[in-house]
Amino acid sequence: MNHDALFKKLLKRPAVLKGFFEAFLPEVAGLIDFAFLEFVDKEGITTDGRKRTGDLLVKTRFRGESAAFLIHLEHQAQPDSDLARRMLEYWLMDWRNYDLPVYPIAVLSHQRPSPGSGSPLEIRFPNKRVLDFDFDVIDLYRMKAEAYVQMENPAALALSARMQRKYKERVGLTLDFFSSLAKVPIDQDDKVFIAGFFSHYQPLTPEEALQMERERYKVMPEAAREAVMNLTNPFIELGKQRGLEQGLQKGLEQGLEQGLEQGLEQGLEQGRFQGEADLVIRQLTKRLGTLSGAQEKTIRGLRLEKIEALGEALLDFTSPSDLARWLRNNKKR
């Protein structure tokens, strides 16, 4: 899944969108009626013939009146110095097409500092101000992940994955992320997706996973450990939780460091496939209801990469027929 699609799936979750405004635009959040949200799926064409793929348009009520929020997602490897002009063009297109006041926001997730957004965009003559266009810029790279992984806010936690962090602090930050996410009062399905989003951009190595699990068992009470454990999902590449947990449990029972490391290694190797299949089946059951024995057997018979693909695809399933169709198209490939 590309950056645009992943960010859109994140922000189209109402609890996450509300958290986005509360964390990054709090003065605006208090004026939005989050009970009225309509996400506009569109693929407009710009004046130079380019397809608009990195935009999310949300119709809602602002100060009690109908309005729209344009959230432009910018992920290019090289920051674009022409962002302000593109934002103006997108704003004009949406204003014209939907006949609503449009509030523009640019979310930058470059992995290097942006030279500047060009906001506000001004055109002035000696006798006249022709244009004064402004928009909010959320430049994630300029933010410190350490602060946001402490927040019990779903959007702040997810987007901290694209913020600055010191490499040596990755394990502690990841543990803080999961600890905070476990406390956020949102649906488990939202939590699982947010955990997946974070882990997609900040995967841990097996060694880092071992270090994090040691810390988790040392500093967290049992109830908190269980809450964090339940947040694993198909995006996580650090050893699929069942195998990881089995290895850790073996090491803890033996009480030996060697047993812990050996258990982790064996658990990662032996439990990855089983853990992935169990997790996907659990998520499908939560989303669609109980699966048939034949469907479970088919899923467990898939190759690992197909199970991982199913873990991503299921986020779009709305009925059992979606799963049946996917299995027909993929079980023999």
Is 309 contained in some domain? no
pLDDT over 60 (residue 241): no
Q: 18-27, 36-45, 103-112, 179-188: lowest mean pLDDT where?
A: 36-45
Pair 134, 10 in one domain: yes
Q: Spell out the SS3 assignment of 267-281.
A: HHHHHHHHHHHHHHH
Question: Would you state the pLDDT for residue 151?
Answer: 94
User: For 296-326, what is each residue's pLDDT tens digit?
Assistant: 888 888 888 888 888 888 888 888 888 998 9
Question: Would you state the pLDDT for residue 73?
Answer: 87
Chain-wide mean pLDDT for the chain?
A: 81
Last residue of a domain, one of 238, 263, 295: 238
Q: Bigger pLDDT: 87 or 82?
A: 87
Is 202 contained in some domain? yes
Q: Which residues contact residue 264 at a Cβ distance below 8 angstroms, ignoring those fewer than 6 apart? A: 206, 209, 210, 213, 239, 244, 247, 248, 251
Angle at CA of residue 104, ends 85 and 64, nearest 5°: 150
Pair 46, 134 in one domain: yes
- What residue numbers bound the domain in which 246 lies? 240-274
Q: Per the structure, how many domains does the chain have? A: 3
Pair 101, 170 in one domain: no
Helix (H) or strand (E) segment spanning residue 104: strand 102-108
Pair 100, 21 in one domain: yes
Q: Bigger pLDDT: 77 or 280?
A: 280
Question: Would you state the pLDDT for residue 254?
Answer: 52
**What angle in degrees, to the nearest 10, is found between the helix axes of 320-330 and 304-313?**
150
Rounded distance between C-alpha atoms, residue 250 and residue 272, angstroms: 16
Pair 191, 126 in one domain: no
Pair 51, 94 in one domain: yes
Rounded distance between C-alpha atoms, residue 195 and residue 202, angstroms: 10
Question: Would you state the pLDDT for residue 148?
Answer: 95
pLDDT over 60 (residue 255): no
Pair 230, 244 in one domain: no
Q: Are 29 and 58 in contact (CB under 8 A)?
A: no
Is 199 contained in some domain? yes
Is 39 contained in some domain? yes
Question: Would you state the pLDDT for residue 53?
Answer: 73
Question: Would you state the pLDDT for residue 76?
Answer: 61
User: For 143-158, what is each residue's pLDDT tens digit?
Assistant: 999 999 999 999 999 9
Q: Which residues contact residue 81 at a Cβ distance below 8 angstroms, ignoring those fewer than 6 apart? A: 115, 116, 118
Is 315 contained in some domain? no
Q: Which residues contact residue 144 at a Cβ distance below 8 angstroms, ignoring those fewer than 6 apart? A: 163, 164, 165
First-last CA distance in the chain: 20
Pair 227, 257 in one domain: no
Pair 118, 68 in one domain: yes
pLDDT over 50 (residue 295): yes
**DSSP, residue by residue, 19-52:** HHHHHH-HHHHTTEEEEEEEEE----B-TTS-B-
Rounded distance between C-alpha atoms, residue 100 and residue 224, angstroms: 45
Q: Bigger pLDDT: 269 or 37?
A: 37
Question: Would you state the pLDDT for residue 188?
Answer: 86
Last residue of a domain, one of 248, 274, 300: 274
pLDDT over 60 (residue 232): no
Q: Where are the alpha helices (DSSP H) in the chain?
A: 3-11, 14-24, 26-29, 83-98, 145-148, 154-159, 170-183, 188-201, 206-219, 222-229, 241-254, 257-288, 293-300, 304-313, 320-330
Pair 231, 113 in one domain: no
Pair 213, 249 in one domain: no
Is 187 contained in some domain? yes
Is 284 contained in some domain? no
Sequence letter at residue 181: L
Rounded distance between C-alpha atoms, residue 101 and residue 65, angstroms: 9
Q: 92-101, 233-242, 301-310: lowest mean pLDDT where?
A: 233-242
Pair 138, 7 in one domain: yes
Is 211 contained in some domain? yes
In percent, how much of the chain has pLDDT > 70?
A: 75
